[in-house]
């Protein structure tokens, strides 16, 4: 993206573990939260400059377990001031995780703007080996600049998941996957570096498919990967006349190398190959460039059995 097209995002820093300092890379408890300034945080993630025009502001630098009503009010008021400015497109608030859900909920009720407001924190201090803060900040800015975030209310971005401030709660004392929305789940995810909201997909009246007069659906087979897989089932499916193959890959739709050539051959014979996943949750994204070059499609958040039905309908057209 051209630098001139980048949005203006303010990082409003309040402290927390994301700005926390421990005495060693392996110290994960008993560190000082709110030890690093917003300038320090930003210096640690130069990649932000490619995503937005970033400016930093320090509202306070505290452990969020000691947040006060006065600070909460100041934060809400400062958000409203910033969001009212034409040259501000969104606000990312760095915050301790202990009371993040309270702040997010309060702001959700008091921010008067449709521009994105995203709270972000970390479960491991900035000094930790595998600190989660830097990537969380990058992801929070990605959420803040995403057009689909506007009007969604105040959001929390933690551990690749996007939550509503209305729903989110901290559920574990230490795990990086501590934030959950126990009554509904996340609003979206970051997968493959991209923001994905759980959106309502076209259905019924908007669906492009029409089965009027259709008497049979095209054959689409599911190939379920496993250790030691070979191409036998792909060959069998092709011999049976499959017009599509759903590959229930491992992880994010990974393909066993012993089967890849067979799948590529299938594509060259006009058979549609779609990568899905056997893991049971998550999104399958584009993956390796090689897979894209070979013409393999990917199933997004559809499990293999649903990807199969969608492909059967698509093949009718």
The set of catalytic residues is 17
Minimum CB distance to ligand ASP, residue 20 (Å): 7
Residue 139 touches ligand ASP, criterion: CB under 6 A = no
Minimum CB distance to ligand ASP, residue 18 (Å): 6
Residue 65 touches ligand ASP, criterion: CB under 6 A = yes
Pick the closer one to ligand ASP by CB: 97 or 276.
97
Minimum CB distance to ligand ASP, residue 64 (Å): 3
Which residue's CB comes closest to ligand ASP?
96
Which of 123, 271, 310, 311 is in the footprint of ligand ASP by CB under 6 A? 123
**Distance separating alpha carbons of residues 306 and 222, to the nearest angstrom:** 11
Of residues 69-98, those binding ligand ASP (CB under 6 A): 96-98
Which of 9, 11, 17, 162 is in the footprint of ligand ASP by CB under 6 A? 17
Minimum CB distance to ligand ASP, residue 143 (Å): 19
290-295: list long-range contacts, CB under 8 Å, 24+ apart: 291/255, 294/260, 294/263, 294/264, 294/267, 295/264, 295/267
Residue 16 touches ligand ASP, criterion: CB under 6 A = yes
Residue 249 touches ligand ASP, criterion: CB under 6 A = no
Q: What is the 3-state secondary structure (H, E, C) of the chain?
A: CCHHHCEEEEEEEEECHHHCECCCCCCCCCCECCCCCHHHHHHCCCCHHHHEEEEEEEEEEECHHHCCHHHHHHHHHHHHHHHHCCCCCEEEEECCCCCHHHHHHHHHHHCCCCCCEEEECCCCCCCCCCCCHHHHHHHHHHHHHCHHHCCCCCEEEECCEEEECCCCEECCCCCCCCEECCCCCCCEEEECCEEEECCCCCCHHHCCCCCCCCCCCCCEEEEECCCCCCCHHHHHHHHCCCCEEEEEEECCCECCHHHHHHHHHHHHCCCEEEEEECCCCCCECCCCHHHHHCCCEECECCCHHHHHHHHHHHHHC
Which of 9, 11, 33, 119 is in the footprint of ligand ASP by CB under 6 A? 33
Residue 253 touches ligand ASP, criterion: CB under 6 A = no
- Token pair, residue 58, equals 């320090």
Residue 133 touches ligand ASP, criterion: CB under 6 A = no
Residue 121 touches ligand ASP, criterion: CB under 6 A = yes
Residue 188 touches ligand ASP, criterion: CB under 6 A = no
Residue 132 touches ligand ASP, criterion: CB under 6 A = no
Residue 63 touches ligand ASP, criterion: CB under 6 A = yes
Minimum CB distance to ligand ASP, residue 122 (Å): 6
Pick the closer one to ligand ASP by CB: 100 or 299.
100
| Residues at the contact surface with ligand ASP, assessed by CB under 6 A | 15-17, 33, 63-65, 96-98, 121, 123
């Amino acid at each position: 993206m051209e630098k001139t097209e980048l949005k203006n995002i303010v990082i409003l820093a309040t402290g927390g573990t994301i700005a926390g300092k421990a005495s060693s890379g392996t110290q994960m408890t008993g560190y000082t939260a709110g030890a690093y300034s917003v300038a320090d945080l930003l210096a640690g993630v130069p990649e932000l400059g490619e995503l937005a025009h970033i400016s930093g502001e320090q509202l306070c630098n505290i452990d969020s377990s000691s947040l006060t009503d006065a600070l909460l009010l100041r934060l809400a008021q400062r958000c409203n001031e910033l969001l009212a400015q034409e040259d501000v497109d969104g606000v990312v608030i760095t915050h301790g995780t202990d009371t993040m859900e309270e702040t997010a909920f309060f702001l959700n009720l008091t921010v008067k703007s449709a521009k994105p407001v995203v709270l972000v924190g970390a479960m491991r201090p900035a000094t930790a080996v595998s600190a989660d803060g830097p990537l969380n900040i990058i992801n929070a800015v990605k959420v803040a600049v995403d057009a689909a975030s506007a009007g969604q209310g105040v959001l929390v971005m933690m551990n690749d998941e996007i939550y509503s401030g209305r729903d989110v709660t901290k559920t574990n004392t230490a795990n990086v996957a501590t934030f959950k929305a126990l009554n509904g789940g996340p609003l979206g995810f970051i997968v493959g570096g991209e923001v994905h909201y759980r959106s309502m997909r076209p259905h019924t009246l908007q669906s492009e498919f029409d089965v009027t007069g259709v008497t049979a659906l095209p054959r689409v087979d599911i190939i379920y990967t496993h250790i030691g897989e070979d191409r036998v089932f792909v060959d069998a499916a092709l011999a049976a006349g499959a017009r599509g193959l759903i590959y229930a890959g491992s992880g994010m739709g990974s393909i066993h190398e012993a089967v890849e050539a067979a799948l590529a051959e299938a594509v060259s014979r006009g058979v549609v190959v779609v990568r899905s996943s056997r893991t049971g949750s998550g999104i399958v994204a584009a993956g390796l460039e090689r897979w894209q070059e070979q013409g393999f499609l990917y199933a997004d958040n559809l499990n293999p059995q649903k990807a199969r039905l969608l492909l059967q309908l698509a093949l009718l057209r």
